[in-house]
Structure 1
C-alpha cells in the first residue's frame, strides 16, 4: 500500500473550472478502491460546496502566518480531503483563478505559492498529522513549486507532476520572487527562472521524479514547438521520465443503461432505446422528427482550440447534405452569433443552444448518431469517450488524447472489430468535411454502422484502468 498526497487547485464536486477537477475528484477514489492510502489537499475556497464542512485539524506556521488545515471527505467516498484554510487569500467569492467578475486574482502567485508551501510541510510530516506520504502527486502549474521545494529536503517523498494543459504555465515577473520568500538556491536557469521570469510550471517539470500528462500522444506533442509553449526543450531533455496516461471517465454518471437524464435506456446488447432518444431530442430542439437522417452533435467551448472555426467553414456545405446538426456550448461571442445566424437560416437542419445544460449534454450524447470533435489540440478530451460509450461515433482530429482513444473506421479496423469512429489528420475545413461525408456513407450501411457502435460501446474507459497505470508508476519510484 502506498501513501499518496494528491495536490490539486480544484476538485469535483467541491469546486470545478475544468478537466483537472474531474481528475482530482475521480482518480483518488479509484486509487482508494485499489487499496491505497490517499489524501487530497487543496485550498479552502469560499466557493466550495457539496461536502461536509471541514473540521479543524492543526495549524502550520509559514511566512509568519498561521495557516489552518481542515479535514473533510470527497462525497460518497472515504477519501480524505485536507483544506488549506487561510481566509486572507481564499475566503472570497469567485473561482480558484478569477474573482466573481471574471478578473484574474491579482495575488494569484501569492495564493498558490502559499498552497505549495503547505503541501511541502504536510509531505515532510511537519504538520502534526503523523502521516508522511511515499508519493506527492502534483497537478498543473498551481502545484509546480512543490517538487522544486521538496528537492531541497532530505528524506523527502517521491514527486510526480501531471500536466493537464501546457498552455497554462503560471509565469510571473522576476520581481515576484523575493516577496514570495522562495529559496535563493532555486533561482537559476536550471531552476525556477524562465527567460528572466518566474515559472511555476518549470518547478514541476525540472524537479519532479516523474512527469505525466493525460495521453500518450500529448506526451509526444508537448516535446514540439507547436505544443510545448517554450518548454519543449526541457520536456524533450526529460523525455525518459515523461509518460502519458489517459484520463478515465465516471462510468457511473455516463452510462446509457441507467443515465438519470435519459427517458430511454439502452446498452450494447439492446440499442433500441438510442433511437427513441434521438426522436425525443429532435422534437425537443424543434428539428423535423426523422429516424433515418444522421444527427450530428457537438458539446464544448466555442473557441479556436476546439476547431469551431473549421466547423463554421463547413456549415454552408453541411446544410446541403442530408443531415441535422445540434450544438451545445458557449465561448467566443462572435462564434456564438454566427452559429445562431445559421440556426435561424436553417431551422430544419441546425439547432444551437448557447450556454451549458447538464441534462441536455447527456441527451445529445445519447440522441446523436455522430459526435463532432475537430480540436486543434486536445490533451485528453472526455466527450469522445462519452460518445463511444453511448454508441455515438465520434469524428475527431488526430491529436492528443483523441488520437489515443478513437480507432479510425478503415477496412482493417472494421474487419478486426476495433473501429470506433472517424479520424482526420489536418486541421483544415476540407479534411473535416471529408470525414463528415465518410460518416454519412458508413451510416447508410446499417450492419457496418452497428458493428462499429458495438466496438465503441464495449471499450474500457473506466478510472480503474487509469488508476492501475498510475499505481504502477508510483511503484516504480
Structure 2
C-alpha cells in the first residue's frame, strides 16, 4: 500500500520541534510494516539543497501567486515529494517566521498550497503513484482532508495526526475564495472555527480517522481543559480517534554510538556518562563537581512548557546544591529570565539560547535529571531521550509524559519499575518533585536502579508503527 505523508518539517533537514523528529522516523518504520511511504514537504532551501535524484513529476502553472512544481527525490535516506515553489518557500528564517521573529504574512497561502498539492497527489496527479492513504500532520496540512472530501468521487483514505492541538491554524474567513473552498464548507459543519477558517478544524472534521501522539492526550483533548475549543467535535469523533504513543528514533538517540558525545556509554557501562557530565560542566562554565546533581532543560521556553514554574522553583534546586543547564528559545521574557539566572548564579546555572542539535545530545547525556514540567504535553520526546541517556525525567502528570514515566514512589522503587519523577504541573507540585529528586540523589543505589530501568525501556517505534499501519489501512 502506498501512503502519502505530509508535514511542514522533517528531521534532519528542517526542525523546530518534535514534529520533525516523528516525520524523520515514522516513514522508515512504516516501511517495515509493508507500506511504501513518500513524504510531501515544502521546498525550503535546506531541503532542496539536500535533495538527490530529483525529477519533476507534477507542474502547477499557478499556485498562490507563482508557478510551482513537485520534485520526487531522496534526502537523508527518505523518499520525498518536494513542493518547489520559490515564491512561497525560498526565504530565510524558520519554516513559519522571518528573521524578525514574526509569522510570514502569507502563511495561510503557503500551507494551503502544501495541502492543495497533497490532495492533488492523493487524486493521482503524479503518474504511476496513487496513494491508498494520505496522512496529514498538524494544522499546516489540515486543509488536505477537506480538499479531498470536497472534491467528490473516489479518493484515498485520510488520517489527520495531531501533534499539538494548541496550534489551530486560524485564518480570516475572507480568504475562502483564495483558498479554493466552496461556500457550503464555511459553516460549523465544515472549516469554520470561531468565525475564522480553521486549518486544524478542517482536518479534524473531514478526515476519515484522527490520531494523536499518546493515549492520555487523546483522552485529555476531549475535555474543555485541554481541547482548545475542539473538545465537542472530538467527542463526536471519538470512535475514530486513536492515541498512539510516539517512539524514539534509536538510530539517532543511542549513547553507545552517538557521534556528538565526548564519551560513549550504555546500561551497565556508565563510566562514559560521568565523562559526559564533566565535559558538559566545562563547556557551559559550570563548576566541575561530580557530586552536584546536574539538572537540564532542552525545550521551547514558553508557559506551556512550564518555564515559569522552573524559574519559581529555582531556589529549591540551588539551595539543594544542584546545578541547572538550559538549552532552548521561545518567549523573550523567559529567555531574559534564564540569562539573568545564569548571570546571578555563575558556576551553578548555565543558559544557552537557541537551537543546537549536537549540544542537545551532549546536554541530555551529561545531566543527571531532565526537567519537563509542561502544563500539557501531547507526547514529549525529551523524556524518552533522557531515559535512553541515563537521565531521570522529572515530568508533569499530563499527556504522553504520564504514559511513559513511572513515578519513583516507594512502591515503584521496591518493585523495580520506577524510571522518573512525576508531579502536578503547579509550583507546589514541581517544588515537591524537585525535593524528592534531591532526596533520591542522596540514595545512589536507588537513583542508579531508576536510571537503569529507564535505559532498558522499550522506546522504539515498532509497536506504534503497527498501530499506525492499522489505522492507515483500515
Q: What is the TM-score when the length of structure 1 is the normalising length?
A: 0.93
Helix, strand or coil at the partner of 2:304: helix
The residue aligned with 1:313 is 312
Matched, 1:69 2:70: yes
- Distance apart, 1:62 and its partner CA: 6.7
Structure 2: which 5+ runs fail to align? none
The residue aligned with 2:4 is 5
The residue aligned with 2:28 is 29
Counterparts of 2:332 and 2:120, CA distance in 1: 44
- 1:195-239 per-residue CA deviation (whole Å, 9 max, x = no partner) reads 332111111111111101111111112112222221111011111
8 Å contact from structure 1 (residues 8, 41) kept in 2: yes
8 Å contact from structure 1 (residues 144, 204) kept in 2: yes
Counterparts of 2:341 and 2:58, CA distance in 1: 58
Helix, strand or coil at the partner of 1:39: strand
Cα gap change, 1:183 to 1:62, in 2 (>3 Å)? farther
- 1:331-370 to structure 2, matched below 5 A, reads 331-370=330-369
8 Å contact from structure 1 (residues 47, 93) kept in 2: no
- Distance apart, 1:51 and its partner CA: 2.8
Helix, strand or coil at the partner of 2:239: helix
Helix, strand or coil at the partner of 2:52: coil
Helix, strand or coil at the partner of 1:54: strand
Cα gap change, 1:82 to 1:377, in 2 (>3 Å)? same
Counterparts of 1:338 and 1:113, CA distance in 2: 37
- 1:420-474 per-residue CA deviation (whole Å, 9 max, x = no partner) reads 100012x222211111111122222222111111110011211333222211222
- Distance apart, 1:407 and its partner CA: 0.8
8 Å contact from structure 1 (residues 41, 119) kept in 2: yes
The residue aligned with 2:409 is 410
Structure 1: which 5+ runs fail to align? none
Cα gap change, 1:238 to 1:430, in 2 (>3 Å)? same
Counterparts of 1:287 and 1:62, CA distance in 2: 55
Helix, strand or coil at the partner of 2:267: coil
The residue aligned with 1:50 is 50
Counterparts of 1:43 and 1:355, CA distance in 2: 23
Where in structure 1 do 4 or more consecutive aligned residues deviate above 4 Å?
60-66
**Which deviates further from its counterpart, 90-99 or 172-181?**
90-99
8 Å contact from structure 1 (residues 371, 384) kept in 2: yes
Cα gap change, 1:140 to 1:287, in 2 (>3 Å)? closer
8 Å contact from structure 1 (residues 223, 232) kept in 2: yes
Helix, strand or coil at the partner of 1:225: coil
8 Å contact from structure 2 (residues 309, 430) kept in 1: yes
- 1:19-52 per-residue CA deviation (whole Å, 9 max, x = no partner) reads 2222212111221233321111122233424332
Helix, strand or coil at the partner of 2:81: strand
8 Å contact from structure 2 (residues 316, 434) kept in 1: no
Counterparts of 1:414 and 1:180, CA distance in 2: 55
Q: What is the TM-score when the length of structure 2 is the normalising length?
A: 0.94
Helix, strand or coil at the partner of 2:9: coil
Counterparts of 2:259 and 2:126, CA distance in 1: 43
Cα gap change, 1:387 to 1:238, in 2 (>3 Å)? same
Matched, 1:464 2:465: no
- 1:13-162 to structure 2, matched below 5 A, reads 13-48=12-47, 49-52=49-52, 54-60=54-60, 67-75=68-76, 77=77, 79-125=78-124, 127-152=125-150, 153-162=152-161
8 Å contact from structure 1 (residues 215, 379) kept in 2: yes
Counterparts of 1:26 and 1:273, CA distance in 2: 27
- Distance apart, 1:138 and its partner CA: 0.7
Counterparts of 1:362 and 1:454, CA distance in 2: 19
Cα gap change, 1:110 to 1:342, in 2 (>3 Å)? closer
Helix, strand or coil at the partner of 2:458: coil
8 Å contact from structure 1 (residues 371, 393) kept in 2: yes
The residue aligned with 1:451 is 449
Counterparts of 1:323 and 1:200, CA distance in 2: 44
Cα gap change, 1:354 to 1:83, in 2 (>3 Å)? closer
- 1:213-292 to structure 2, matched below 5 A, reads 213-292=212-291
Helix, strand or coil at the partner of 2:154: coil
Q: RMSD of the TM alignment (CA)?
A: 2.1
- Distance apart, 1:63 and its partner CA: 6.9
- 1:45-79 per-residue CA deviation (whole Å, 9 max, x = no partner) reads 3342433273222324677976422111131x2x4
8 Å contact from structure 1 (residues 58, 69) kept in 2: yes
8 Å contact from structure 1 (residues 257, 266) kept in 2: yes
Counterparts of 1:216 and 1:62, CA distance in 2: 42
8 Å contact from structure 1 (residues 52, 72) kept in 2: yes
